[in-house]
Amino acid sequence: MAGAALDLDAIRPCLEGAIPVVMATCDLDGTPNVTYISQAEYVDARRLALSFQFFNKTRRNVLANPVAELLVVHPGNGALYRIAARYLHTETEGALFERIKAKLSGIASHTGMSGVFRLRGADVYAVERVAAVGTPPPQPAPAGPSRLSALRRCAQAVADASDLDNLVERLLDGVVAHFGVRHAMLLMLDAAGNRLYTVASRGYGRSGAGSEIPLGEGVVGVAARTGSPIRINHATVEYAYGRAMREGLSGRLLEREIPLPGLAEPGSQLAVPMASAGQLLGVLFVESAQDMHFSWDDEDALVTLGAQFAALARGFIQCAEVPDDEEAAPAAPVHDASVAGSAALRVRHYEADDSVFLDDDYLIKGVAGAVLWKLLSDHARDGRTEFSNRELRLAPEIRLPEIGDNLEARLVLLTRRLVDLQAPVRLEKTGRGRFRLCVTRRLQLVPVPRA
């Protein structure tokens, strides 16, 4: 109905940045001024934020007379809405500022204005009234599967996970199967190293397990640093960390870097931080080659799913620190003659960064590298094959950081990395907080001390 009162929840698609916002202000003398605003951002049902880029007439008016009228357009059906708003304050850092900055970067790249657009602040407004202009046309049918139904199916699958590794599998499989996402990856936090490392992915030519992103870099790093989801619906150069890394590595593949998976030309990206009890555990990242692929509904659903993942992951991590009392099933026999007669696997371990090479292939570094070196050293010295998380946590040679380190996630990463390389060394889970080392070739351990 024309003129019917609404709130921002009813018109969130209008704040996607697909169509600029028309903003009308006036000075203290009543002289009006009308301009376009590049980005409007939903804050909650009664507040929004506008990108502040220039010191101009609009800015002077708002500071002198903090009343504004906005005209926004629904990108799906062209419906017009008027918003009466009152300026509250400007934020120049934090999650809201970073979200608008990321989206503005995408808009700038899309419109050829990358060298012009610069965000100075996020102007926050209280919304006093939202009203339709005329009779709105029918709402377009939502594209793709119902997000609520997809969330329900994913949540059910995730809730049935048996351990952290299985939880990762169920989350990524569910997102691909039920949300129509073709490209996704899951990264966990390395708090001591101020970076994230890829644990698993879907839709790329390689898993990328072990590849890293520093906090604050790209869409994923910004989402992790701010603790807020970052959604970009246009390709952007500034936030394409993965592409920059791949281009840098293409001509000179660094000896100890694993290439980050990702689309060469993404159209849309969404990074969702996953936290539990106020602590960040990781980030779920999805992307598409299409512009405007991810909606507010996608963001809401994946944020909810990410919270469930984080709570379950936290529980699995804590349980893994306390091994069960059951004896592990006996290992399948490996014939000593076949192992003894095989060519030796040369394992180099560099003490400086705990990087490990199998023959000439880089495997892993950091905590995961230190863990593998201890396992192989114990096996070569004592013939051991059975281990527990608890003993690794207490082992001084692993040098776990004082900051609480997610050892269980490191073991998941190491297990997947060994599979990726089809290495003659594998890890098999044998119970809660317990696992087995399987070696099918003779080992030649080569320690490389610090220079």
Residue 138 covered by a domain: no
- Give the whole-angstrom CA distance, residue 104 versus residue 234: 9
Question: Last residue of a domain, which of 103, 132, 161?
Answer: 132
Structure confidence at residue 90 (pLDDT): 96
Q: Are residues 126 and 224 in the same domain?
A: no
Q: Are residues 217 and 294 in the same domain?
A: yes
Residue 376 covered by a domain: yes
Both structure tokens of 301: 């659903």
Residue 253 pLDDT level (bands cut at 50, 70, 90): very low
Residue 328 covered by a domain: no
Q: Are residues 309 and 424 in the same domain?
A: no
Residue 218 covered by a domain: yes
Question: Last residue of a domain, which of 81, 105, 132?
Answer: 132
Residue 336 covered by a domain: no
Q: Are residues 355 and 302 in the same domain?
A: no
- Give the whole-angstrom CA distance, residue 155 versus residue 316: 16
Tens digits of per-residue pLDDT, 64-107?
999 999 999 998 888 999 999 999 999 999 999 998 888 877 55
Question: Last residue of a domain, which of 132, 164, 179?
Answer: 132
Tens digits of per-residue pLDDT, 191-243?
887 899 999 999 998 899 999 999 988 889 989 999 999 998 876 655 555 55
Tens digits of per-residue pLDDT, 153-163?
999 999 999 99
Q: Tell the burial category of 449 from Cβ atoms under 10 Å away from its Cβ (0-12, 13-18, 19+).
A: exposed
Across the chain, mean pLDDT equals: 87
Structure confidence at residue 241 (pLDDT): 52
Domain CATH number, residue 44: 2.30.110.10
Number of domains the chain is built from: 3
Residue 232 covered by a domain: yes
Residue 3 covered by a domain: no
Domain CATH number, residue 401: 1.10.10
Q: Are residues 310 and 405 in the same domain?
A: no
> CA–CA distance from 244 to each of 239, 247, 396, 444 (Å)?
9, 5, 37, 37
Q: Are residues 287 and 227 in the same domain?
A: yes
Residue 289 covered by a domain: yes
Tens digits of per-residue pLDDT, 97-152?
998 888 877 554 444 444 445 789 999 999 999 999 988 777 766 666 789 999 99
Q: Are residues 181 and 88 in the same domain?
A: no
Work out the angle at residue 124's Cα, subtended by the Cα atoms of residues 120 and 130, and round it to the nearest 5 degrees.
135
Q: Are residues 309 and 190 in the same domain?
A: yes
81 lies in which domain range? 12-132
Structure confidence at residue 403 (pLDDT): 56
Q: Are residues 238 and 209 in the same domain?
A: yes
Residue, of 403 and 96, whose pLDDT is higher: 96
